Structure 1
Amino acid sequence: MKRLWFVAGMTVLAGLVLPVLRAQDGAKVFRLDGGDVSYVFGVNDHKELQAMYWGHRLPGSQQFATPRRGQEVASFDGPVTVTPHEYIGWGGVLYVEPDLKVTFPDGNRDLVLEYVSSEVRPNEISIRMKDIERAVFVTLRYRMDSDTGVLAREAVIENRTNGPIKLEEVQSATWNLPRGDRYRLHYVTGRWGSENSLQMRPVSGGKTVLESRRGTTGAQNNPWFMIDDGSSDDQDAGEVWFGALGWSGSWQIAVEQTVVKDVRITGGPNTFDFGYQLKAGESFETPWFYGGYSHRGLGGASRLLHRFEVDNIVPHAPHPKIRPVLYNSWEATTFDVTAVGQMALAEKAAKMGVERFVIDDGWFGQRKNDHAGLGDWYVNKQKFPDGLKPLIEKVHSLGMDFGIWVEPEMVNPNSDLYRNHPDWVLNFTGRPRTEGRNQLVLNMARKDVHDYTLEWLDKLLDDNKIAFLKWDYNRNWSEPGWPAVPIDEQKNVYVDFIRNYYDILEQLRKRHPDVEIESCSGGGGRVDLGVLRLTDEVWTSDNTDAFDRLYIQNGFTYAYTPAVMMAWVTDSPTWVNHRPLSLEYRFLSSMQGSLGIGANLNQWKDEDFATASHMIAAYKDIRETVQRGQLYRLIQPESNEQSVTESVARDGKQTVLFTFLHSSRENYPFPTVRLRGLDENALYAIKPIAGKAVEGTPASATGGYWMYHGIDVALKGDFQAAAFVLTRQ
């Protein structure tokens, strides 16, 4: 896919449209256009980089004059505080969240950045800034996607002084919204087993901070936000600005309404316990912070973000692999894995049409439970006397590829690795080493830990025909010390750990380009646009209750594409709520994402296998639409007895409708479902996957009929579901 950047004045070179500096009465104004979006910023009268416009695409003829600093609000809030800055250092009388804060060796903490120059390259525009007195340089990079208008921003800080500097805050970017007082902030919160709970609050005076202090991304918050203009509760109406941070470490996003009711959003690595030692001659590259705009509501915003992720972020973009139907043996065997037992499960899975067989925890070291073995990554000879190859060959003979579970960043104290290298874990000298799930966190910032981890993973993939790694991470950090390096560098662990984690993933992808990887963290605890650059899918939640999943998956898809959202069918009742749900209901819930099966097939009956075979075959016919199409949330589960989603294929030829009923009341029928995103003049034939429409529903009708008249679904009772495919004639 060719990415194009547009400005009011354009230079065409080798088929690319490049951004240029537009001189308007001497003004330095930069404009980027993509999709239906324009983004404009410029250099103001004090050499500061100032935001000017972010919203609906403007006519190409529109010009902008030199931006001016804001007006002082008494002596308490000077012009620098009330000006909408693109990127600003902490200094002078700045009282809003800064983008960069440093301490110099002489104790000076004042940093005032001024514009120096700009550089235009294919697919990128860079702005160079410098402190007014010291040799600290900041380069801001802007990349806009031509199809969606999603803008990627990062900052590179260079220390050209003669000594080290301490980065106490180093953000990726600040986004500025048009002045307003009706904005609403949308974000997700959660915990293990309850990820992606949608939240909404008014944006008002003061600051809201979304964050993770856990060392990595966590379920408590996700590094994503949407802000709408408050004009409509329709999913597909109103102006929306959104952003997502591409960072898998501790992070923060601060949403701030200033004293003049400007709204600014600043995001990057978390400032809590942060202090990165940047030596003379070194540079620091922030994570990318992605931002976008839609005038088609929250639904339109999420559809733009989904498309951007599929076309630009995930491995093999813009043509990522379709997610195969997988089976994972964890719930059938837990730690009691054996070659014979896994082969028997593989035979059952293959008969249903499963395409990938995954063995979970318990295959390595002295791993009989979660108290021992993590860190000792050799095949357990008692469970697999001849290694993994006989099992892998069996799986391949059944027409499936093979996947395996790993947890590289963790170690049990009861392991050979820990006994030999107790210094390899995060720790403070002489302090307790807090265990979680009977394990400690390896300090991936260390080169020796990085090298060991890469070596055993590389060997595992070299020695075995493995197509898929389920990379798990089952606890957050504690005692984040790094006593092996000088005191001034010990807090670098927050960044260097994540950089080495990324490097291992990058090296594995280079050496084994056909291997696919899932990011898992006790469920959805590590999901962000940083890890999605390097992994093909994510585990959404350990909570596989099919009704709970309607809520979890709904929140997930505000920020992330269903193309990466793994959803398993497991046994019922689950450990979560002890509620019985039909196998058909469980399948339909999971078929809204990337389908997997995690049930104990040894307990299934013939009719269960028959149902599963039918549903898997149906899913294969619709999965490209579900995974890559445009998602419409017609009825959301949070405030209703119902949940309805619709996915429309990119080419518009297929539409998939999922409908769910919690409980019917007082003999009332299911609400009429009115579809969206169809061609109102085209004919669409409808066919049920499961369940049925009410009697008299036409077998074929125009898109206008399905959108304006709608479809009535025959759902009554408790925990009922139906699904349909509409095919454009």
Structure 2
Amino acid sequence: MAVTYNESTKIFTLQTAETTYQMMVGRYDILQHLYYGKRVDGSTMEYLLWGTDVGFSGNPYEAEGDRTFSLDTQPQEYPSQGVGDYRTSCLEVVNPDGSMAADFRYVSHEITKGAYTITGMPAVYDEEGNNSLGNNSLGSTTLSILLKDASTGLELVLKYGVFEKEDVITRAAELRNSTEGTVSLEKMLSVCLDMPFGKWDMIHFHGRHAMERQTERTPLCHGTVSFGSKRGTSSHHHNPSLLLCTPQTTEDAGDCYGMTFVYSGNFIAGAEVEQMGQTRVFMGIHPESFCFRLAPGDTFETPQVIMSYSDKGFTDLSHKFHKIIRDHICRGKYKYARRPVLINNWEATYFDFNEEKILKIASQAAELGIEMLVLDDGWFGKRNGDCSGLGDWFVNPDKLPEGLSGLSEKINAMGMKFGLWFEPEMISEDSELYRAHPDWALRIPGRKPNRSRFQLVLDMSRRDVRDYLFERMSDILSNARIDYVKWDMNRSMCDIYSAALPAERQGEVYHRCILGVYELLERLTSAFPDLMIEGCSGGGGRFDAAMLYYSPQIWCSDDTDAVERLEIQYGTSFLYPIGTVGSHVSACPNHQTGRITPFHTRGVVAMAGSFGYELDLNTLPQNEKEEVKKQVSDYKKYYELIHQGAYYRLNGAGAFHGQEFVAWSFVSEDKKQALVNLVITHTRANSKPVFIKLKGLDAAAVYRLEDGRCLSGSALMNAGICIPSASGEYRAVQFELNAQ
């Protein structure tokens, strides 16, 4: 069984195909962590616990004269503040009497089949057999452990979801106010993982707008290393994910753990190495500006964390995350259905467009085989720049005299689908909506707000705001033929104050706004089940597993430069499936960097994701138009391989630390087909040939290359293949292998 409990030893064992997670109801009913790592059968791991008298680390009252047991040194499942553990805590409360302590002890547990849900928030789901690919026989098991603080009556439920075949464990928690007074919840994380031994590196994914998910590997030392977001979104600056690995771990070998947060708002994550050399890893909602009031009987549920472990290096760990997110986070029609190749007008026209311009772009796109046109910002209200109009979701008749209905019909008549840009969560001060409802914006009374693009953030915690947005969006989607929505969000949140909440509940606004976003997305996806949504927040500012629950892809970055995208997409690939990455061929010189990159290279890079174009096709020379036809044809040919195949980083982190090329590949599940991609990032005079070793092939199979050569899988993986040197800046190579 995936979850067992031994009544005599009081040990819980969570088993997946290749991992074991153990914890124990220890002394004084304290829930202690024992082990998480490579699968262990036939043994319990309580022998790993140790006890000694550590100075200034006190002992539970029940220990009496035994100084060898301390909450400050013992590995725990969910530590809380104020009771003797001075390390990073998961939970902080102010009790009805003003005290700030919580001491949770084991009461009972329940083991059930199927995945647990979290009220109002995304979570990994289990729909056994409901998979068009026929490989979704994933059955999960839920373990719920009830703990209680005897002094106050507060109840804590720890939830563990065990996805056995996927080698994934999920974590979440729920606090119930069973006291007779109001409790102020000031911190509640989703996960703690105590590692009692080992030296570790931490990898996280930092960045900035247009340069998201840069990898940084840091050896952990004594103290706490943490990162997070206080911007109201998961952010461009720190992705809500981390990896923990041994210093020796590489793409293909070594112990590594991964965590990603199924949440789109403020978060904190990190690791603490404490006095005895143990490491505590943690992740959850950021406690700054967070305070939830729980009346008697109220509960608070944390978002979910997805965890996995591999002893085979980063590639194997990535594959586990890719599969669980692709198959059990993403939902809807386009979870597996082929998504259309699109063209977006943004970098072609910006705000300067009319129906004639859009139809001209669409006509050329249709001739070249592109399947959908997406109309970006500027089609509504008084919106000729980014300083006005947000919230006024009514068509601008000066730009579109026949409205969206007329435009979509004309585009459909060309054999293309039609998509539309929205930024629902924002409001411009210069808008009819703001003039009518200034209280709908997040804004502190008596203070001038911090401006960003002259837009404020709508109070998504309010039902009347969400109802207005649902009404306007539904009306537009119902009265035109719209197959796709690009959902954007273009500023960080601050000036947090809701006119709809009393003073003592203002600490709930950040979280309630995120819940409101999820609620609106759920309503829309339920009302329009065939609609495809692409998430966006100035590109990759909200690239997280929770948004993928509603949108099967996210615009990876506003930086469309193919060379910069290599590094952005590399970092993204550690945890997120390639099919979730929105990636386009854009104009040259690139609008963000001014770089000149070959058209072929831009296509190869953009095919590492959900493919499209972001330029005016009418300005291309004929040879590049022919290249567009070929790229579209190739992408359709390789679609299943790219979206469902296994992804391999062929030269790992060295790609951005001294090596002169970046290479990656896709391999089909049956290992009969592979697509190899390579971009030369630094061309030199008298250059040497490039050798790359392929991965994931069948060692015993013989593969035919496009040039007619036949080579064994073992040769291609162990000796590699030579890419001949050639001149030219940023040259790309793409070739297919097929098993004979």
Distance 2:47 2:468 in 1: 55
Do 1:177 and 1:263's aligned partners in 2 also have CA atoms closer than 8 Å? yes
- Residue 135 of structure 1 is matched in structure 2 by 153
- Residue 680 of structure 1 is matched in structure 2 by 699
- Residue 364 of structure 1 is matched in structure 2 by 380
- Residue 20 of structure 1 is matched in structure 2 by 4
Do 2:485 and 2:533's aligned partners in 1 also have CA atoms closer than 8 Å? yes
- Residue 204 of structure 1 is matched in structure 2 by 221
- Residue 595 of structure 2 is matched in structure 1 by 579
Distance 1:196 1:64 in 2: 37
Q: Flag the 1:416–1:70 CA change in 2: closer, same or farther, 3 A.
A: farther
Give the alignment's Cα RMSD to 1 decimal.
Answer: 1.7
1:115 aligns with 2:115: no
Q: Equivalent of 1:662, from 681, 703, 706?
A: 681
Equivalent runs, 1:179-258 vs 2, <5 Å: 179-181=197-199, 183-232=200-249, 234-258=250-274
Do 2:75 and 2:196's aligned partners in 1 also have CA atoms closer than 8 Å? no
- Residue 49 of structure 1 is matched in structure 2 by 31
Give, in angstroms, the shift of residue 501 of structure 1: 0.5
Do 1:136 and 1:161's aligned partners in 2 also have CA atoms closer than 8 Å? yes
Equivalent runs, 1:435-454 vs 2, <5 Å: 435-454=451-470
1:74 aligns with 2:55: yes
- Residue 484 of structure 2 is matched in structure 1 by 468
Do 2:334 and 2:532's aligned partners in 1 also have CA atoms closer than 8 Å? no
Distance 2:630 2:22 in 1: 52
Secondary structure of 2:461's counterpart equals coil
1:155 aligns with 2:166: no
- Residue 92 of structure 1 is matched in structure 2 by 83
Equivalent runs, 1:113-512 vs 2, <5 Å: 113-122=104-113, 123-181=141-199, 183-232=200-249, 234-316=250-332, 320-512=336-528
Gaps in structure 2 of 5+ consecutive residues: 60-69, 114-140
Give, in angstroms, the shift of residue 599 of structure 1: 1.2
Do 2:675 and 2:736's aligned partners in 1 also have CA atoms closer than 8 Å? yes
**Paired letter, 1:100:** L
- Residue 101 of structure 1 is matched in structure 2 by 92
- Residue 652 of structure 1 is matched in structure 2 by 671
Q: Equivalent of 1:708, from 694, 718, 732?
A: 718
Distance 2:672 2:333 in 1: 22
Secondary structure of 1:645's counterpart equals strand
Distance 1:544 1:665 in 2: 25
Gaps in structure 1 of 5+ consecutive residues: 1-5, 8-18, 688-696
Distance 1:464 1:77 in 2: 68
Q: Flag the 1:348–1:72 CA change in 2: closer, same or farther, 3 A.
A: farther
Distance 2:724 2:483 in 1: 42
Give, in angstroms, the shift of residue 576 of structure 1: 2.5
Q: Flag the 1:526–1:35 CA change in 2: closer, same or farther, 3 A.
A: same
| Structure 1 range deviating more: 320-329 or 209-218 | 320-329
**Paired letter, 2:100:** R
Distance 2:287 2:50 in 1: 27
**Paired letter, 1:498:** I
Deviations 1:469-520 (A, max 9, x none): 1000000012111243211111110110000100111111111111111110
Secondary structure of 1:451's counterpart equals helix
Distance 2:291 2:629 in 1: 55
Give, in angstroms, the shift of residue 616 of structure 1: 1.3
**Paired letter, 1:91:** G
Question: Aligned residue pairs: how many?
Answer: 699
| Structure 1 range deviating more: 397-406 or 543-552 | 397-406
Deviations 1:618-659 (A, max 9, x none): 111112222222111112431121101111112222111001
**Paired letter, 1:246:** V
Do 2:702 and 2:712's aligned partners in 1 also have CA atoms closer than 8 Å? yes
**Paired letter, 1:710:** G
Distance 2:54 2:510 in 1: 38
Distance 1:466 1:193 in 2: 28
| Structure 1 range deviating more: 423-432 or 387-396 | 387-396
Do 2:149 and 2:155's aligned partners in 1 also have CA atoms closer than 8 Å? yes
Give, in angstroms, the shift of residue 546 of structure 1: 0.7
Do 1:44 and 1:66's aligned partners in 2 also have CA atoms closer than 8 Å? no
Distance 2:405 2:468 in 1: 23
Do 2:34 and 2:46's aligned partners in 1 also have CA atoms closer than 8 Å? no
Distance 2:420 2:292 in 1: 36
* Percent of aligned pairs sharing the same letter: 32
Secondary structure of 1:350's counterpart equals helix
TM-score, normalisation: structure 1: 0.93
Secondary structure of 2:184's counterpart equals strand
Do 2:440 and 2:499's aligned partners in 1 also have CA atoms closer than 8 Å? no
Distance 2:58 2:453 in 1: 50
Q: Equivalent of 1:62, from 43, 52, 55?
A: 43
Distance 1:580 1:334 in 2: 21
Q: Flag the 1:589–1:345 CA change in 2: closer, same or farther, 3 A.
A: same
Give, in angstroms, the shift of residue 65 of structure 1: 5.1
Give, in angstroms, the shift of residue 464 of structure 1: 2.0
Give, in angstroms, the shift of residue 340 of structure 1: 2.1
**Paired letter, 1:535:** S
Deviations 1:17-61 (A, max 9, x none): xx33223xx2211111123111111211121111111111122x3
1:35 aligns with 2:41: no
**Paired letter, 1:135:** G
Q: Flag the 1:65–1:542 CA change in 2: closer, same or farther, 3 A.
A: closer
- Residue 690 of structure 1 is matched in structure 2 by none
Deviations 1:515-556 (A, max 9, x none): 111110111000111111111110111111111111111111
Distance 1:555 1:68 in 2: 36
**Paired letter, 2:722:** D
Do 1:314 and 1:320's aligned partners in 2 also have CA atoms closer than 8 Å? no
Distance 1:418 1:319 in 2: 37
Distance 2:46 2:228 in 1: 37
Secondary structure of 1:80's counterpart equals coil
Deviations 1:443-475 (A, max 9, x none): 111222122122212222222221111000000
Do 1:587 and 1:615's aligned partners in 2 also have CA atoms closer than 8 Å? yes
Give, in angstroms, the shift of residue 440 of structure 1: 0.7
Secondary structure of 1:559's counterpart equals coil
Do 2:232 and 2:265's aligned partners in 1 also have CA atoms closer than 8 Å? yes
Secondary structure of 1:308's counterpart equals helix
